[in-house]
Chains A and B, each alone.
Chain A
Amino acid sequence: GAVVSQHPSRVICKSGTSVKIECRSLDFQATTMFWYRQFPKQSLMLMATSNEGSKATYEQGVEKDKFLINHASLTLSTLTVTSAHPEDSSFYICSATIAGDSYNEQFFGPGTRLTVL
């Protein structure tokens, strides 16, 4: 149980285009979903926290107009990288917590490798 999927697993795009990444909780309802970014040899950095039906909370330094997050249902959150540039190339990982779970354990997706040319 507690499986989180991400789609696509890998995407290559041209500079200036927008890319959408989906995060789904497959066998549970997710109260909260988190989006992280990991640059090579660095730690996972939290970008934003999203709750179903409300606006995402962005971490300091993360541009909310560039990284659009939509959490339309309890099983799906999307991250759209708008007007992507080479410096946005990174590994993007989402995680989700189970509704009603007092431990708030985060279950992670497999990640999406974004390469912007």
Chain B
Amino acid sequence: DQQVKQNSPSLSVQEGRISILNCDYTNSMFDYFLWYKKYPAEGPTFLISISSIKDKNEDGRFTVFLNKSAKHLSLHIVPSQPGDSAVYFCAASAIQGAQKLVFGQGTRLTINP
């Protein structure tokens, strides 16, 4: 049972445009959400997070939006740059739990020059 889903395995975006990566979850106990970026042969690196008490969190070019009623979150990258090409994972946790992260399958983002 996949509790966190990223339904788009890949996404291709023109440099300078907005990249939007989507993530859906099913477990209503999740109250903290994170996005990680992963390059080949490297471990995931933390990008941005959002608590369930917020609906938006912004950090430079990266903004995460959370829609609790739809159990949906999205990561917006604007403007997109070639260095953003990587696999992006969304992850969720229930703060009350033991720090466990549940990951989505990942979306491979390719930024075209």
Query: CB within 8 Å of B: which residues of A?
Result: 4, 6, 9, 32, 34, 36, 41-46, 49, 57, 93, 95, 97, 104-111
Contact = CB atoms under 8 A, between A and B. Distances in A.
- Per DSSP, are chain A's interface residues mostly helix, strand or loop, or mixed? strand
Contacts of A105: 46
B4 A43 contact: yes
Contacts, number: 50
- Per DSSP, are chain B's interface residues mostly helix, strand or loop, or mixed? loop
A104 B99 contact: yes
Q: What interface size band does chain B fall in?
A: 20 to 34
Interface in B66-91: 89
A43 B45 contact: no
Q: Pick the most buried of B42, B99, B106: most chain A CB atoms within 10 A of its CB.
A: B99
A84 B100 CA distance: 26
Interface of B: 2, 4, 9, 36, 41-46, 89, 98-106
A110 B43 contact: yes
Contacts of A95: 43
B41 A9 contact: yes
Given A46-B100, A111-B41, 19 more contacts: A6-B43, A9-B41, A32-B99, A34-B99, A41-B9, A41-B105, A43-B4, A43-B104, A44-B89, A44-B101, A44-B103, A46-B101, A49-B99, A57-B98, A97-B99, A106-B46, A108-B43, A109-B43, A111-B43
